[in-house]
A = this chain, B = another copy of it.
Amino acid sequence: MALGKDYATQECSIARALEVVGERWTLLVVRDALYGIRRYNDFLVHLGIPRAVLANRLQALTAEGVLERRRYQESPPRDEYVVTDRGIALWPALRALGRWGREHYGAEPLRIFRHADCGTEIGSYGECAACGTVVPVADVEMVPGPGLDPDPADPVSRALLKPKRLLQPLVVEPA
């Protein structure tokens, strides 16, 4: 994933971060992992990307320690991808990008993120104005916003219609 022959001249922290996550699908995989998606097929359905691209991104993110591969079933063997602390630490960057997209390109918000303890929508920096604290990622609850399709075709998007906390594993009903 090198930036090119002259990457040595780009020794800044942003460039280092982009080496790992500086590609659109990669960040959307991390987003989905924060939403609680863990299984290959659920990523596949929700992202709608080619299998080879998804497999490559999951492998790269696992190699970088952003995701961790875990066996969840022995017979037949099945693994899932769980976001690590390093991946969770990307939440502020994703939140900042999401707010920028919403402010500059979005119309109605698609998802609202709020402090699970008190229901207050979290601010620009992930803080809860009511409680005066920065909300830990696991205490952020995501709920559908007015811009979200209330009747999506795929089962993963349907499962994401229910309010849930970030990181909490998503339960997808069979189609």
Q: Which residues of A contact B (CB under 8 A)?
A: 3-6, 9-25, 27-28, 31, 46-49, 65, 86, 89-90, 92-106, 109-111, 124-125, 127, 147, 149, 152, 154, 157
Contacts and interface: CB of A to CB of B under 8 A. Distances in A.
Given A4-B49, A18-B27, A93-B96, 17 more contacts: A5-B48, A6-B49, A9-B47, A9-B48, A12-B101, A12-B110, A13-B97, A13-B100, A13-B102, A13-B109, A16-B102, A19-B105, A23-B23, A89-B103, A92-B96, A92-B99, A93-B97
A152 B22 CA distance: 25
Contacts of A31: 12, 14
A100 B96 contact: no
Q: Which applies to chain A's interface (DSSP): helix, strand, loop or mixed?
A: helix
Contact of A17 (B14, B100, B111): B100
11 contacts: A6-B47, A10-B48, A11-B110, A13-B97, A14-B101, A16-B102, A17-B98, A18-B101, A19-B24, A20-B101, A92-B125
